Structure 1
Amino acid sequence: MDFWENLWGTIWFFFWTFAIISYFFALFGVIVDLFRDRQLSGWAKAVWFLALFFVPFLTVLIYVIARGKGMAERSSKESREYQAQTDQYIRTVAGTGSGATEEITRAKALLDAGTITPAEFDALKSKALSSSSYME
C-alpha cells in the first residue's frame, strides 16, 4: 500500500464514521420526539417504530422531512419549560433576606433609625457573620 491509498482509506473511514454517528443522532432524535409528541396516537407511534425497525434510514429521512417543524417546536417548548422550572427553583433556593449581608443591612437600618445602640449593632453583626461562616 502506498501513501495515497492510506490517505484515501483514512478519509473514507472518517467520512463513514461521521455519517454513522450523525445517523444515530437523528435516529435517537426521532425516537425521543415520538415519546415527546402527545398529539400522535399510540397506533401511529407503533407504526413509526415498526418502520424504524424494518427500514430505519428511509424512515428517519421521511420522519424528519414530514414532522421536522413539529420536532423543533416540541424541543423548543420543552427547553422553555425546563428553563422556567430551573429559574423557579433558583428563585426559591436563593430567597431573600437569609444571608449575613441582609441581616447586617437590616441591623444598620435599625442603628440609623436609633432603634438599637452601636453595641447591639456590633453584637448583631458578629452573630450574622459567625452564623454565615458555618454555611460556607
Structure 2
Amino acid sequence: MSFWDALRLFFISFALVAHMMVLFSIVTDLFRDEETSDISKALWKATLGTVCGADR
C-alpha cells in the first residue's frame, strides 16, 4: 500500500463516518419531535433511505 492509497483510504473513511453521523443526527432529531405525525416520520425515513441509498 502506497502513501497515496493510505491517504485516500483515510479521507474516504472520514467522509463515511461524517456521513453516518449526519444521518443518525437527522433520524434522532426526527423521532424526538413529538409534533410530527407518524406518517410524516415514515415518509421522511423513506426519503432518507431513497436519497442516501441511491449513491451506493
TM range (shorter): 0.7 to 0.9
Report the TM-score, using the length of structure 1 for normalisation: 0.36
User: How far 1:39 sits from its partner (Å)?
Assistant: 1.8
Q: Give the gaps of 5 or more residues in structure 1.
A: 59-136
Q: In structure 2, what is the Cα distance between the partners aligned to 1:14 and 1:45?
A: 34
User: How far 1:18 sits from its partner (Å)?
Assistant: 0.3
Runs of 4+ in 1 over 2 A off after TM superposition: none
Give secondary structure in 1 for the equivalent of 2:2.
helix
Matched, 1:30 2:26: yes
Matched, 1:46 2:31: no
* More helix per residue: 1
Of the two, which has the highest radius of gyration?
1
Q: In structure 2, what is the Cα distance between the partners aligned to 1:20 and 1:57?
A: 13
Count of aligned residue pairs for this structure pair: 54
Map Cα deviations across residues 88-132 of structure 1 (whole Å, 9 max, x no partner): xxxxxxxxxxxxxxxxxxxxxxxxxxxxxxxxxxxxxxxxxxxxx
The alignment yields a C-alpha RMSD, in angstroms, of 1.9
Q: In structure 2, what is the Cα distance between the partners aligned to 1:31 and 1:12?
A: 29
Which residue in 2 is equivalent to 1:20?
16
